[in-house]
Amino acid sequence: MPVGLSGLPELLPVTGIRWGVAAAGIKRSGRNDVALMEIAPGATTAAVYTRNAFCAAPVALAKRHAAAAATRYLLINSGNANAGTGEPGKQAAWASCQALAELVDCQAEAVLPFSTGVIGEPLPVERIRQALPQAVAGLGGQGWEAAARAIMTTDIVPKGISKQVQLGGKTVTITGIAKGSDMIKPDMATMLAYVATDAGVAQSLLQQTLRQAVNLSFNSITVDGDTSTNDACVLVATGQASVAFASESEAGFAEFATAVTQVCQALAQAIVRDGEGATKFITIDVQGGRDAAECRQVAYTVAHSPLVKTAFFASDPNWGRILAAVGRAGLDRLDVDKVAIHLGDVCIVRDGGRAADYTEAAGQAVMGKEEITITIELGRGNTEARVWTTDLSYDYVKINAEYRT
Catalytic residues: 190
Of 31-39, 203-211, 255-263, 307-315, which part binds a second copy (CB under 8 A)?
307-315
Q: Which of 213, 275, 247, 332 is nearest to 5 (CA)?
A: 275
Is 311 among the residues that bind a second copy (CB under 8 A)?
yes
The residue from 7, 67, 87, 105 that contacts a second copy (CB under 8 A) is: 87
Is 83 among the residues that bind a second copy (CB under 8 A)?
yes
Select 252 or 288, whichever has its Cβ closest to a second copy: 288
Is 314 among the residues that bind a second copy (CB under 8 A)?
yes
Is 342 among the residues that bind a second copy (CB under 8 A)?
no
Of 134-142, 151-159, 197-205, 323-331, which part binds a second copy (CB under 8 A)?
323-331
The residue from 68, 103, 254, 397 that contacts a second copy (CB under 8 A) is: 397
Select 16 or 89, whichever has its Cβ closest to a second copy: 89
Window 207-236: residues binding a second copy (CB under 8 A): 224-229
The residue from 4, 42, 120, 381 that contacts a second copy (CB under 8 A) is: 120
Is 403 among the residues that bind a second copy (CB under 8 A)?
yes
State the Cα–Cα distance between residues 327 and 310, nearest whole angstrom.
18
Is 377 among the residues that bind a second copy (CB under 8 A)?
no
Q: How far is the CB of 73 from a second copy (least distance, A)?
A: 27
Is 331 among the residues that bind a second copy (CB under 8 A)?
yes
State the Cα–Cα distance between residues 397 and 71, nearest whole angstrom.
40
Is 340 among the residues that bind a second copy (CB under 8 A)?
no
Of 4-12, 118-126, 161-169, 197-205, which part binds a second copy (CB under 8 A)?
118-126
Q: Which of 148, 164, 147 is nearest to 156 (CA)?
A: 148
Select 19 or 319, whichever has its Cβ closest to a second copy: 319
Is 1 among the residues that bind a second copy (CB under 8 A)?
no
Is 323 among the residues that bind a second copy (CB under 8 A)?
yes
Is 396 among the residues that bind a second copy (CB under 8 A)?
yes
Is 22 among the residues that bind a second copy (CB under 8 A)?
no
The residue from 126, 166, 255, 394 that contacts a second copy (CB under 8 A) is: 394
Binding residues vs a second copy (CB under 8 A): 51-55, 81, 83-89, 118-120, 182-183, 185, 187, 224-229, 304-307, 310-311, 313-314, 316, 318-321, 323-329, 331, 334, 336, 349, 351-354, 392-394, 396-398, 400-405
